[in-house]
């Protein structure tokens, strides 16, 4: 987060300048108002009007800049999230909360809280020195009463932080369960369990609402307490000035100026109190963002020196899905030879697809290790590792873009290679269009997409499932053509693919 703020230090320095100008405009407005009451001249009225217009325009311009900064930081964070999302073992609920609710809170922070923080840091000293220039006693009262509000906010913040964390966790659980139920809604309807799922979502939603309401209650208390304290502080200054004015210990112009500047002195603190719960929520959100984006790069080894194509060694590998008790894979030991085509076979449910996702670096083993030659995969730089691995799932994803971008995964496309692969698999499509593809065409799109990356490790999950015999032969012929200096791993049930492979590894169902 500090790095992102430093990248935008030019905009932040502009905010500082705007606030300094705003502070001096406020002081000037107070001075001219005192003169207007004393002399009642139209010229002074015009000057006061001009200052207020200038101040409003400056505030509106600053608000637009805050919005721009918020948008820019959110865009930068989203880019960083997308870059690192496969490097973290994180649940879908956490991802949804981070991508939507957490970033939304960060937007509110820059739009509602950041301006008040700048106001407190910059405007308060300007108003305090202005008050001291006119009267040391009033400046002393302002200086003494000022720490009461931050101290109160500190005490309330300690309680609010715990409530906010609870609300965040409840929201994360709601997102996770809602996503899980939504993905399984067809099965739930078939087995008549949709009402049970709805009741579960309703129950979690109520808990999340109750936790959020607890935060809002504290927010209301903090706002009320701050309003009370600042109002009493203003009242102390006003009463003191009134008594001293009657006693002749202060002149009218100075007393009126101080009376005008005192509410402006406490205004940033009052506004900060109103949005204090956003500040606490933003603090928790920033911690979550930092935790997600933090990668211990010093623990990673480079992959550039990896011998190509690599031998893959799996040692004592076990994997259990989150919130599941029984493992999908249990103490798997196997060796995949370098530069060979290896077929992974076994009964449905034995964990072939899970193993392939772990080999592709998409899942992290619960136990055990995978070695590329002698380098442990868990210690490698993820970005460099992904450059050397291509993975095609059973159901490749078709992006909402033209087919050319779908094949290239939005990278620069080598048209010659693509046309060669399309011809080899008899795939006749318009690359510049967004035409609908059949399941078989999407399957071949995934295979070609994998080959276009030209990685040293190619992982294919059931690449010929559902294809006719002629198309299957074309796919295998293309694999044979591009297999030179590549380690190719294919999970399959098809006998033709098993016969085609150089080596066969059979997985057993985990107990």
Give the E-state strand segments of 273-366 in sequence order: 312-319, 329-336, 341-345
Query: In a 3-state reduction of DSSP, which class is residue 456?
Result: coil
Domain 2-293, architecture per CATH: Up-down Bundle (1.20)
ω into residue 309 within 30 of 0, thus cis?
Answer: yes
CA distances (Å), 50 to each of 27, 29, 43, 55, in order? 14, 9, 11, 9
pLDDT in tens, 36-88: 887 777 777 788 888 888 888 888 888 887 788 777 777 777 777 766 666 65
**Longest alpha-carbon distance in the chain:** 107
With beta carbons less than 8 A apart as the criterion, state whether 105 and 280 touch. no
How many residues appear in the chain? 511
User: What six digits make up the tokens of 123?
Assistant: 């405007």
Domain spans in the chain, listed from the N-terminal domain onward: 2-293, 312-506
- Which residues, 6 or more positions from 448, have their beta carbon under 8 angstroms from its beta carbon? 407, 418, 421, 422, 425, 427
How many other C-beta atoms can be found within 10 angstroms of the C-beta atom of residue 12? Answer: 14
Where the chain has pLDDT below 70, the residues are: 1-9, 82-103, 105-106, 153-176, 179-180, 183, 215-216, 218-219, 222, 274, 276-277, 279-282, 284, 293-307, 409-414, 434, 510-511
| Domains 2-293 and 312-506 in one fold | no
With beta carbons less than 8 A apart as the criterion, state whether 48 and 32 touch. yes
User: What six digits make up the tokens of 477?
Assistant: 């012929």
pLDDT at 297: 45
pLDDT at 344: 92
The three-point CA angle 313-316-322 to 5° equals 110
pLDDT at 387: 80
Across the beta sheet with 367-372, what order do the strands follow? Answer: 329-336, 312-319, 367-372, 375-376
The three-point CA angle 173-178-183 to 5° equals 130
Q: What are phi and psi of 332, to 5 degrees?
A: -85, 130
Residues 501, 487: Cα–Cα separation, whole Å? 12
User: What six digits make up the tokens of 117?
Assistant: 């923080």
Domain 312-506, architecture per CATH: 3-Layer(aba) Sandwich (3.40)
Dihedral (C-alpha) 360, 364, 365, 369: value to the nearest 10 degrees? 70
* Antiparallel, parallel or unpaired: β 312-319 and 367-372: antiparallel
Contacts 24+ apart (CB under 8 A), 283-290: 283/161, 284/161, 284/164, 284/165, 284/168, 285/102, 285/103, 285/105, 285/106, 285/109, 285/168, 286/1, 286/106, 288/97, 288/98, 288/102, 288/168, 289/1, 289/77, 289/98, 289/102, 289/106, 290/1
How many other C-beta atoms can be found within 10 angstroms of the C-beta atom of residue 121? Answer: 12
* Antiparallel, parallel or unpaired: β 487-491 and 341-345: parallel
pLDDT at 299: 47
Contacts 24+ apart (CB under 8 A), 478-483: 478/421, 478/424, 478/425, 478/447, 478/451, 479/341, 480/341, 481/424, 482/451, 482/458, 483/339, 483/341
Residues 171, 102: Cα–Cα separation, whole Å? 11
Contacts 24+ apart (CB under 8 A), 211-218: 211/163, 211/166, 211/167, 211/170, 211/171, 212/167, 212/170, 212/171, 214/163, 214/166, 214/167, 215/160, 215/163, 215/164, 215/167, 215/277, 215/281, 216/277, 218/156, 218/159, 218/160, 218/163, 218/277
pTM of the entire predicted model: 0.55
- Residue located via tokens 């879908």: 92
- Residue located via tokens 């020196």: 305
- Which residues, 6 or more positions from 463, have their beta carbon under 8 angstroms from its beta carbon? 392, 443, 446, 447, 475, 479, 490, 492, 497
Residues 62, 59: Cα–Cα separation, whole Å? 5
User: What six digits make up the tokens of 450?
Assistant: 């994998």
């Amino acid at each position: 987060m500090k790095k992102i703020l430093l990248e935008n230090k030019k905009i932040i320095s502009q905010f500082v300048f705007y606030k300094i100008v705003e502070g001096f405009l406020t002081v000037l407005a107070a001075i001219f108002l005192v003169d207007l009451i004393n002399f009642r001249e139209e010229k002074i009225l015009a000057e006061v009007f001009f200052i207020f217009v200038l101040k409003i325009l400056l505030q509106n311009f600053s608000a637009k800049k805050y919005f721009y900064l918020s948008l820019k930081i959110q865009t930068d964070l989203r880019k960083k999230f997308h870059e690192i999302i496969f490097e973290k073992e994180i649940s879908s609920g956490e991802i949804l909360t981070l991508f939507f609710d957490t970033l939304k809170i960060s937007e509110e922070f820059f739009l509602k809280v950041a301006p008040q923080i700048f106001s407190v840091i910059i405007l308060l000293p300007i108003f305090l020195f202005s008050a001291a220039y006119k009267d040391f006693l009033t400046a002393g009262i302002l200086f003494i009463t000022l720490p009461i509000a931050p101290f109160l906010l500190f005490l309330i913040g300690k309680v609010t932080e715990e409530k906010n964390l609870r609300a965040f966790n409840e929201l994360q659980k709601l997102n996770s369960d809602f996503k899980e139920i939504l993905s399984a809604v067809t099965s739930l309807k078939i087995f008549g369990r949709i009402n049970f799922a709805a009741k579960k979502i309703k129950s979690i939603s109520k808990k999340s609402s109750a936790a959020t309401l607890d935060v809002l209650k504290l927010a209301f208390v903090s706002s009320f307490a701050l309003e009370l304290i600042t109002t009493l502080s203003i009242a102390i200054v006003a009463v003191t000035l009134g008594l001293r004015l009657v006693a002749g210990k202060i002149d009218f112009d100075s007393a009126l100026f101080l009376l005008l500047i005192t509410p402006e002195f406490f205004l940033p603190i009052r506004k900060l109190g109103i949005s204090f719960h956003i500040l606490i929520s933003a603090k928790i959100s920033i911690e979550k963002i930092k935790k997600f984006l933090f990668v211990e790069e010093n623990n990673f080894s480079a992959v550039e020196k990896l011998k190509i194509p690599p031998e893959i060694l799996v040692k004592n590998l076990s994997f259990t899905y989150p919130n599941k008790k029984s493992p999908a894979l249990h103490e798997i030991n196997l060796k995949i030879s370098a530069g060979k085509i290896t077929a992974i076979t076994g009964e449905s449910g034995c964990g072939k697809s899970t193993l392939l996702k772990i080999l592709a670096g998409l899942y992290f083993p619960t136990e055990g290790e995978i070695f590329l030659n002698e380098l442990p995969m868990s210690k490698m730089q993820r970005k460099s590792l992904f450059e050397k691995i291509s993975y095609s799932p059973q159901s490749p994803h078709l992006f909402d873009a033209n087919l050319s971008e779908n094949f290239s995964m939005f990278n620069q496309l080598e048209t010659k290679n693509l046309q060669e692969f399309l011809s080899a698999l008899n795939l006749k499509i318009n690359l510049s269009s967004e035409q609908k593809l059949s399941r078989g065409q999407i399957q071949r799109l995934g295979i070609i997409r994998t080959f276009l990356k030209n990685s040293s490790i190619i992982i294919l999950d059931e690449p010929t499932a559902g294809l006719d015999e002629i198309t299957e032969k074309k796919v295998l012929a293309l694999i044979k053509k591009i297999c030179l200096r590549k380690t190719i791993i294919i999970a399959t049930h098809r006998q033709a693919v098993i016969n085609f492979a150089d080596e066969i590894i059979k997985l057993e169902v985990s107990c």
